[in-house]
Chains A and B, each alone.
Chain A
Amino acid sequence: KQEVTQIPAALSVPEGENLVLNCSFTDSAIYNLQWFRQDPGKGLTSLLLIQSSQREQTSGRLNASLDKSSGRSTLYIAASQPGDSATYLCAVWGNTDKLIFGTGTRLQVFP
């Protein structure tokens, strides 16, 4: 059974810092991995999707990497801003035709 773990559970940093959020999964037989952002009380916004054949994806200040063999992904946020404050969720898509989510990393960026 696929399990997804995210570390740290919470993170508080000053504005301008570069951040690394970690995601690990137990079954490496995945087709893709997605990173989502969730603001309090809101739905999810897809940030990046990495196919299993890819090593990384970039969008603006965000860069996500995938090491399928070791069951790990990282989300790198450059030059963090208060507007980046949210919960970041990673999710994997395997052969079960559904997304399996981690519990998220709650990020607070203070001015």
Chain B
Amino acid sequence: DTGVSQNPRHKITKRGQNVTFRCDPISEHNRLYWYRQTLGQGPEFLTYFQNEAQLEKSRLLSDRFSAERPKGSFSTLEIQRTEQGDSAMYLCASSLNWGLAGGTDTQYFGPGTRLTVL
């Protein structure tokens, strides 16, 4: 399967613990996005990378959140000192951006990681 993969698929943790999620994009894609989706809502943008550079972070991404894409391939999203409000589906997407204005690239989404904070 050459699609976007995410691990783990489910994570249950206790409040105050740290968690880390991984996203493996489609291999030739240079852009990688993280979104968060709560029940009954559409996904909300968190951050994105162009190769290894993190180009934008949403104000939703508090200091407890950090994302990396060290070699421009896979990415990790870490949440420190988790809170119950962090419970959500965390979605990763990748795309091939040709450098043209207008974002004409299609984003391909992974299956998501569902986080439950007890």
Contacts and interface: CB of A to CB of B under 8 A. Distances in A.
B42 A4 contact: yes
A99 B56 CA distance: 13
A101 B112 contact: no
A45 interface: yes
A57 to B, nearest CB: 12
A57 B91 CA distance: 26
B117 to A, nearest CB: 17
Interface in B80-111: 89, 91, 93, 101-104, 106-111
Interface in A56-111: 89, 91, 93, 97-104
A36 B40 CA distance: 15
Contact of B43 (A32, A49, A101): A101
B48 interface: yes
Contacts of A42: 111-112
A65 to B, nearest CB: 18
Interface size range on A against B = 20 to 34
A99 B114 CA distance: 21
B112 A46 contact: no
B45 A98 contact: yes
A102 B45 CA distance: 12
Contacts of B102: 31-32, 52, 93
Contacts of B62: none
A34 B56 contact: no
Nearest to A103: B42
A34 B43 contact: no
B109 to A, nearest CB: 4
Interface of B: 4, 6, 33, 35, 40-45, 48, 55-56, 89, 91, 93, 101-104, 106-112, 114
Interface of A: 4, 31-32, 34, 36, 41-46, 49, 51-52, 89, 91, 93, 97-104
